[in-house]
Amino acid sequence: MMEYIGATGVPVSFKSVPIENDIDFHFILSFAIDANPSGTYQNGKFSPYWESTLTPKSVAAIKSSHPNVKALASLSGWSLGEKVLRWYNPTDPDLWISNAFSSLKSIINRYHLDGIDIDYENFPKRNSTFAYCIGELITRLKNQSVINVATIAPFYTTVKPYIDLYNSYSDVIDYVNYQFYTDRVRNANGYLKTFTLRAEQFDKEKLLPSYEIDGRGIQGDAFFEALKLLENNGFDVNGVMIFSADASSSNGYYYERKSQAFLLNSTSMV
């Protein structure tokens, strides 16, 4: 189970999210950004910008009370305030990697994190460094035991750079949090068609179906109809990604509860 949290400026806490003990539950703190507060890029020097209620103490507490919980930092996201964020090709990729490793190691240690999620959403027309920089960063973080899980979050307009990354570094990428809600699919059959396409581009065993609370794409219980259809067509539903816990409190975390029930092979609410 993957759940983004802390991206929208809404006060939110880990402890209010329902967590089943038999589920590997990953909170994805959103976002760590390679920029200062004014949006000026810092050449790989990341800072945390997620909701201030998500403190190091609260991360440690939720992991202590739920040993099945892991916490990740998602890198970049769409924007910082009014500043739209983009992957920029650093003039010295190896220096960027070194800076990113050091700054993220500091954040990971401070916040008791287990991994990173890659969510760059805008790219220059001539991108030549993303796959190398991100792939080598993940590899270094894993080889030095700073993290033990890494995920990527492509969507329909960013598939190409993420395919380039995945093709070269799939051995260090654990899950693909593809943002299916950006594909504007609103029924189960359409979801199956889109999932089949993305499963051909990425490893189907690592690809997770996703849902956006009160947002784009498939909505309501049609999402769970889609999950059943995936299984009926030979796909193993190995997890679910939800965006986001910030929006879920208003409906009592219905989709988190029902997604976990589905993953535990139960149709009843938990």
Among candidate residues 20, 121, 212, 256, the one labeled active-site is 121
Two tokens, residue 5 = 């949290």
* Residue 29: strand pairing partners: 5, 73
The topology (CATH level 3) of 2-265 is TIM Barrel (3.20.20)
pLDDT tens profile 127-174: 889 999 999 999 999 999 999 999 999 999 999 999 999 999 999 999
Kindly tell me if the per-residue pLDDT of 107 is higher than 70.
yes
- What pLDDT was estimated at residue 268? 40
Peptide bond into 31 cis (omega under 30): yes
pLDDT tens profile 66-98: 999 999 999 999 999 999 999 999 999 999 999
- What pLDDT was estimated at residue 265? 82
Question: What does pTM read for this prediction?
Answer: 0.96
Kindly tell me if the per-residue pLDDT of 15 is higher than 90.
yes
Kindly list the domain boundaries of the chain, sorted by start residue: 2-265
Contacts of 63 (CB under 8 A, 6+ apart): 69, 70, 71, 112
| Mean pLDDT on 174-195 | 97
| Mean pLDDT on 55-68 | 98
Select from 187, 191, 190 the least CA-distant residue to 178: 191
Kindly tell me if the per-residue pLDDT of 255 is higher than 90.
yes
Kindly tell me if the per-residue pLDDT of 234 is higher than 60.
yes
Query: Rounded CA gap, 3 and 72, in Å?
Result: 10
Pairing of strands 69-77, 115-120: parallel
Query: Rounded CA gap, 138 and 148, in Å?
Result: 10
Let me know if 121 is a catalytic residue: yes
- What pLDDT was estimated at residue 127? 82
> Is 34 in contact with 87 (CB distance < 8 Å)?
no
Concatenate the DSSP letters of all residues of the chain into one string.
-EEEES-SS----STTS---TTS-EEEEEEEEESB-TT--B-TT--EE-S-TTS-HHHHHHHHHH-TTEEEEEEEEESEETTEE------SSHHHHHHHHHHHHHHHHHHHT--EEEEEE----SS--SHHHHHHHHHHHHHHTTS-SEEEE---TTSHHHHHHHHHHHGGG--EE---GGGGT--SHHHHHHHHHHHHHHS-TTTB--EEETTSSSS-TTHHHHHHHHHHHTT------EEE-HHHHGGGTTHHHHHHHHHHTT--S--
